[in-house]
Chains A and B, each alone.
Chain A
Amino acid sequence: MEIYRAHVLCCSGTDCTASGSTQIFERFEQLIKEKGLEKEVKVISTGCFGLCKDGPIVVVYPDGTCYSHVKPEDVDEIVSEHLAKGRPVQRLIRNKETEQEAAGKTLEDNEFYRHQKRIALRNCGIIDPENIDEYLAMDGYKALEKALTKMTREEVIDEVLRSGLRGRGGGGFPTGLKWKFTYNSQADQKYVACNADEGDPGAFMDRSVLEGDPHSVLEAMAIAGYAIGASEGYIYVRAEYPIAVKRLEIAIAQAHDYGLLGKNIFGTGFDFDIKIRLGAGAFVCGEETALMRSIEGKRGEPIPRPPFPAVKGLFAKPTMLNNVETYANVAQIILKGADWFSAMGTERSKGTKVFALGGKINNTGLVEVPMGTPLRTIVYDIGGGIPNGKKFKAVQTGGPSGGCLPTELLDTPVDYDNLVEAGSMMGSGGMIIMDEDNCMVDIARFFLEFTVDESCGKCTPCRVGTRRMLEILNRIVEGKGTMEDLDKLEELAAGIKSTALCGLGQSAPNPVLSTLKYFRNEYVAHIVDHVCPAHHCRALLQYIIETSKCRGCTACMKVCPAGAIEGEVRKPHYIDPSKCIKCGACMETCVFKAIQRK
């Protein structure tokens, strides 16, 4: 096949032919021959471009310049200027604006993407995750090649250390340090492990990486294996992620096929293999010591540290566990260097972080932004603000281990340390937005209910303490709390935080503590005034018919499932509070807006 530098496409559709495209085609052929360009430029007669009203149409590739209303005498200029000198003939270019309009804006033009910087998600939504060739095409496995053939193990660790990468699974521990500790441990066998348990409600970045770019994790695990001296890796992924599991299996098989996993990788004598272990979806199994017990086939319960996994982990051997998103950054760091990575972010949090935006926000989805991006940018510029013209109330970060941050903290640059200082934490990057209709006491109750359910029960503070806290919160949302309850909550929280065995219990009180700190007035309103300011807590709600507005149409009576509405036709109705189940159906039905919720 001959390779041409440029192609000229002349439309030979009915309309363009009628307006003279045949002469244009012939003129191009003739002039190109005259100028001796026939080996460089190919003229093709094509089907209809669908731009008939602007015909005859001529399109020049590779740049894709589209000329409209071309006349045979224009061809000389196109050949001498555009094809010979590379300068498109501006006066003939088809109106760019209409073209832009037709194609709609591209994804990249979108406000949602403009503030983003995609490193961990670089290939998600672009490559076919089930085709290793497409990963390779995006410089895949080049970092592994570089590490194995051009870098010592120490150099690899140093690069990760200097990049400032910190664990994306929640704790934010410096990744390079963890690698170094495991490297320093002496043993006949070491392991690399990947935490893909992703138990935080609302977080799905790890799933997205595994579903969209599984090789990025495999490549990083192999690099880690080389660096710390391990020949085996485990990925612990929850069984609720069947697509992720399937794509991981395909990816592992393909990497084996190409010799990128297995024995003697790149002929360097380095062996590395990866196995998948399925988790049954217990939140506590995301905790590193419980996760390792679960991989071993034991009950997923945490054990006290030290010894840390870097010394004694999986099967009692030194083990290096990182989160999916942490790994997804590694190949880029090795390829582009620590300095490139550490140029992004804040003083102590480098690179980017993926957040899962959910709750009361217009653009729910996954976003990746440089560390230090203000919450406001994430919520308003990227997230598109709050739907239905409602007011922002709080953003919850860090899932059940995190906290709720109020409007006053919207300008906080998001990084590990700022979030902790504000009383929340990064966690795995779930970000749930709340508006004026969310009751903050009930939100705290919701998260605590989750930890009570998910507590493994091994240690008393977590098993019993969180349950006592939940009982208090249940009382408060029912309007039966006392002001002393608030002190009790704080006392219990302090006790649990300092004595629970693992991170689950230690962080469980956070949602309560942060809402007590920033939204104490809502607690007080429930307790003292017996009202829920957000009109959310059912026990405290009251539906009332305003007699002056009620026309007695009986619509609400018909729709009330509890038979709680009484009254005669054309006379004001009345809601019996003892029968009302507070479903709100009457309020939705009333066309006179006579029913109020208080």
Chain B
Amino acid sequence: MKSIAELEAIRQRTLLRMNLNGEDPNGDIRVVVGMATCGIAAGARPVMQGFIEEINRRGLSHVTVGQTGCIGMCRLEPMVDVYVPGSGKVTYVHMTPEKVARVVAEHIVNGRPVAEFTIGAAEENKSSDR
């Protein structure tokens, strides 16, 4: 059983770790994969596995891979958010295991988001998709 004070400590600690707005420059980079039914059906599991493997292979100990639920844009799944401390969140859409290596190399290691995989790019190309 946790006391009210202990719960509050967990809240503060976790908020810092989640670093949603990137305010803690020393935090870990977080890769968060949408793993609700819509994401999984679109192939989120192998994407998540791909991130875990690639990050282990490169020995990136400051990167964690996690999961989340459905953000609502089910047609763009699998979706992956990359939270980089100090620079906020970038959302990748229609992810595949093949795209993972580039996101890890260019964004996570070199700090350059892969623009063409992001939601911004997907929305711009929307009309040509169809």
Contacts and interface: CB of A to CB of B under 8 A. Distances in A.
A125 B7 contact: no
Interface string B64-105: 001111111111000101000111111100000000000000
Contact of A101 (B75, B115, B126): B115
Chain A: number of interface residues, binned into ranges: 35 or more
Interface string B103-130: 0001000111101001111010010001
Contacts of A181: none
Given A104-B90, A211-B37, A125 B70 contact: yes
A121 B24 CA distance: 26
Contacts of B32: 128
Interface in A256-274: 258-260, 266
A103 B73 contact: no
Interface string A527-553: 000000000000000000000000000
A367 B73 CA distance: 8
A98 to B, nearest CB: 10
Contacts of A125: 34, 36, 68-72, 79
Interface of A is mostly: loop
Contacts of B70: 124-125, 208, 211-212, 366
Contact of A363 (B23, B34, B73, B121): B73
Contact of A124 (B37, B69, B87): B69
A387 interface: yes
B120 A109 contact: yes
Contacts of B66: 128, 131
Contacts of A106: 88-91, 119-120
Interface stretch (A44-52, A289-297, A469-477): A44-52
Contacts of A384: 126
B15 interface: yes
B121 A104 contact: yes
Given A107-B91, A207-B37, A365-B72, A259 B1 contact: yes
B2 A129 contact: no
Contacts of B88: 64, 106
A368 B86 CA distance: 29
Given A64-B87, A105-B123, A107-B91, 14 more contacts: A50-B112, A62-B25, A64-B86, A103-B113, A104-B113, A125-B36, A129-B68, A207-B36, A363-B75, A365-B72, A365-B73, A366-B74, A368-B72, A384-B126
Interface of A: 7, 48-51, 59, 61-62, 64, 101-107, 109-112, 116, 121, 123-131, 133-134, 136-137, 139-141, 145, 149, 204, 207-208, 211-213, 241, 243, 258-260, 266, 362-368, 384, 387-388
16 contacts: A50-B106, A51-B111, A59-B86, A64-B86, A103-B115, A104-B113, A105-B118, A107-B81, A109-B120, A126-B20, A131-B66, A133-B13, A136-B14, A137-B11, A365-B72, A367-B72
